[in-house]
Structure 1
Amino acid sequence: MQVQAAAGSNGAQDWKQQLKLPPADTRFRTEDVTNTKGNEFEDYFLKRELLMGIYEKGFERPSPIQEESIPIALTGRDILARAKNGTGKTAAFCIPALEKVDTSKNAIQVLLLVPTRELALQTSQVCKELSKHMGIQIMVTTGGTSLKDDIMRLYNPVHVLVGTPGRILDLTNKGVCKLNNCTMLVMDEADKLLSPEFQPLCEQLIGYTPEQRQILLYSATFPVTVKSFKDKFLRKPYVINLMDELTLKGITQYYAFVEERQKVHCLNTLFSKLQINQSIIFCNSVNRVELLAKKITELGYSCFYIHAKMLQSHRNRVFHDFRNGACRNLVSSDLFTRGIDIQAVNVVINFDFPKNSETYLHRVGRSGRFGHLGLAVNLITYEDRFNLYRIEQELGTEIKPIPPQIDRAIYCR
């Protein structure tokens, strides 16, 4: 496909036909994705090469978070955005970031910070797909990989750097990662990046960027730490909040009241009764993740597991294979809750109920991706009952007792 210089809406319509994109099927989407203003990507006067990447990736038109973010980000203004997981947040900041890159300059111009290695790989992949016609050099760097390889890579051109704060700060302190031309800093899952573990690193990194930089913060939850950071570093940020009552739209939530020793039996029953495309099953500790995965395999179901204490290469392989549909069920620790986008996941099971509403929101948000329907089943013991009530109150949601039969229409296409 030839890249032509001029951009225009008619041209974009032609590409859609050339690419034979299927019409957007909105019948099974929730309104946090479909309730748009009716904008088109061409309305933002993006480079034609970027529009080609957008349409080739299968994006038809902007979701609400993209409609709110893209035009504001293109003006250079700081953004504080709150939107549900799975509504197109990654593209909401990748598209304006890629549009602003000047490939004639051999310098890092955009820094995308994320809290986990898996999310870094996923975000960089989205950037690469969207920019495939643009000649933009994108690098991903995280802990657990070869520092020497990263240093060598930085001797070649890099325009967009995606990674976790610790590794990027290490490279910056060594003088190989130069951020003096980095005019856009994006922090995805900002609530996690502003936790005590990451905030000092993020603030040090900001110190390496120019005074006239643009900062974009995206998250599903905004604790108090975000406010203090905003007041310190953001200049009159444009605030986007699409979460007033959209927190868990499209996801039906049930609880099953069980004793601890009944949990595996209950899980076995769920597997036999539910129409699972793919499921993620959450435990509260690394040890329980491995034990449960072993039990599920013994019951005769295909199962992977993932947690933070595994080798990074092993984690990457599990994530890649699960995403590609090699296995139906994944047992996970909370490592896997943030931003991981696997659209085939339609069922989330909290084998262990989380202690706080933030963790619950991020876990349950693994189903119902990009406005599709999802199901969350929580196994509740006597000790969990207060947490269940508190999380319902804090999220303004209702977790109902599980019925004998669950209608497939509420979580299956």
Structure 2
Amino acid sequence: MVTTGGTSLKDDIMRLYQPVHLLLGTPGRILELAKKGVCVLKDCSMLIMDEADKLLSPEFQPSVEQLICFLTANRQILMFSATYPVTVKDFKDRYLQKPYIINLMDELALKGITQYYAFVEERQKVHCLNTLFPKLQINQSIIFCNSVNRVELLAKKITELGYSCFYIHAKMLQGHRNRVFHDFRNGACRNLVCTDLFTSGIDIQAVNVVINFDFSKNSETYLHRVGPSGRFGHLGLAVNLITYEDSFNLYRIEQELGTEIKKIHPHINQAIYCGDLFGMFPWTTVVTMVSKRFRLHVYV
């Protein structure tokens, strides 16, 4: 069963009269159903937290902690996260007993994503974007702003410049957001302008370019934003529009993520963001990788 805020509570209650083995939803809605006594969790032995760093933000953490009280004491908690901020560590120390920790970030973080910055004044950003679009081979792009108003204004500007563009943000009704996401995922539009609402769980294969129209405030948000450009083993491109006020954040994020964000070139080679990771390796290396996976002995 799937349940989220903004959908019919009555439908959820009717569904819970039938057996439900797996409940997938947002913390607030599940907690609401549990408090009403409709969603009985006393025998639920497993809680899985996807995007744990988001779920443990100030907005959601109180609901998550209340929800845990409804579970059996002999519970298992699994946490999945692309970043590991202090909130996740604190929660782990309080609620997980002798946890196993599996860290794949040294291997996977930002692999295959080429990152650039363009140093601009605030008033030059739209012009810079208009200059970028014809120079890039964009399958689909996601463009991030730091506020709802800026999302709507930028989407309008991009449309006026003659490019197809949707937008999505937290103040839209859930049904409207779902339609926009579905249409964008199906290729109805090439560019999507959004807030950080759209940083979690974005699995859209065609996205190969991410543009931070407004730069990220911290490394966790940056990682979530640029990640979609390099999903499914594909190469990706991240372009950051940096003002003077963003300079320190740029340096700090580079240090924290152990990455380099280079100054943008006048001409960007399409080969660095159009294609897949296997294209970066010689054929003998690919064969070795595959053979290790399946324990085959292949010689080329």
TM-score scaled by length of structure 2: 0.90
Q: Output the aligned Cα RMSD.
A: 1.0
1:391 and 1:308 map into 2 onto residues whose CA distance is 25
The number of residue pairs the alignment matches comes to 275
Give the counterpart letter for 2:28 in structure 1.
G
Q: Give the structure 2 partner of residue 382 of structure 1.
A: 244
In structure 1, what is the equivalent of residue 292 of structure 2? Answer: none
Q: Deviations over 1:230-289 (max 9, x none)?
A: 122112111100113532111000011111111111111111010000000000100000
2:65 to 203, 206, 229: 203
Q: Give every structure 1 segment of 4 or more consecutive aligned residues whose post-TM-superposition deviation is greater than 3 Å.
A: none
Output one character per residue of 1:100-158: Cα deviation in whole Å (capped at 9) or x when no partner.
Answer: xxxxxxxxxxxxxxxxxxxxxxxxxxxxxxxxxxxxxxx11111111111111111221
**What is residue 323 of structure 1 aligned with on the other side?**
185
Which residue of the partner structure matches residue 289 of structure 2? Answer: none
Aligned to 2:43: 181
Distance 1:226 1:259 in 2: 36
Deviation at 1:229, TM superposition (A): 1.5
Tell me by how many angstroms 1:401 deviates. Answer: 0.6
Question: Structure 2 counterpart of 1:394, which letter?
Answer: E
- Structure 1 counterpart of 2:135, from 260, 273, 276: 273
Q: 2:253 aligns with which of 391, 400, 404?
A: 391
SS at structure 2 position matched to 1:340: coil
SS of 1:208's partner is coil
**3-state SS of paired residue (1:241):** coil
Gaps of 5+ in 2: 276-300
Deviation at 1:383, TM superposition (A): 1.4
Determine the structure 2 residue equivalent to 1:215.
Answer: 77
The Cα offsets for residues 306-325 of structure 1, whole Å up to 9 and x where unpaired, read as: 00001111101000100111
Matching of residue 369 in structure 1 with residue 225 in structure 2: no
* Equivalent residue number for residue 96 of structure 1: none
How far apart are 1:177 and its partner, in Å? 0.4
Q: CA deviation at 1:327?
A: 0.5
Displacement of 1:371: 2.2
User: Does 2:91 match 1:229?
Assistant: yes
Q: Show the 5 A alignment for 1:61-76.
A: none
The alpha carbon displacement at 1:195 in A equals 1.7
Structure 2 letter corresponding to 1:328: R
> Structure 1: how far apart are the matches of 2:62 and 2:247?
36
Distance 1:277 1:191 in 2: 29
Aligned mate of 1:287, from 149, 153, 169: 149
The one-letter code sitting in structure 2 at the alignment partner of 1:152 is M
**Whole-angstrom CA distance in 1 between matches of 2:104 and 2:57:** 22
Task: State yes or no: 1:304 paired with 2:176.
Answer: no
- 68, 87, 106: which one aligns with 1:244: 106
**Aligned amino acid, residue 157 of structure 1:** P
Give the superposition deviation at 1:166. Answer: 0.4
The 5-angstrom pairing of residues 114-153 of structure 1 reads 139-153=1-15
Q: How does 1:333-372 map to 2 (within 5 A)?
A: 333-372=195-234
Distance 1:345 1:170 in 2: 35
Q: Percent of aligned pairs with the same residue? A: 85
Equivalent residue number for residue 273 of structure 2: 411
- Normalized against structure 1, the TM-score is what? 0.65
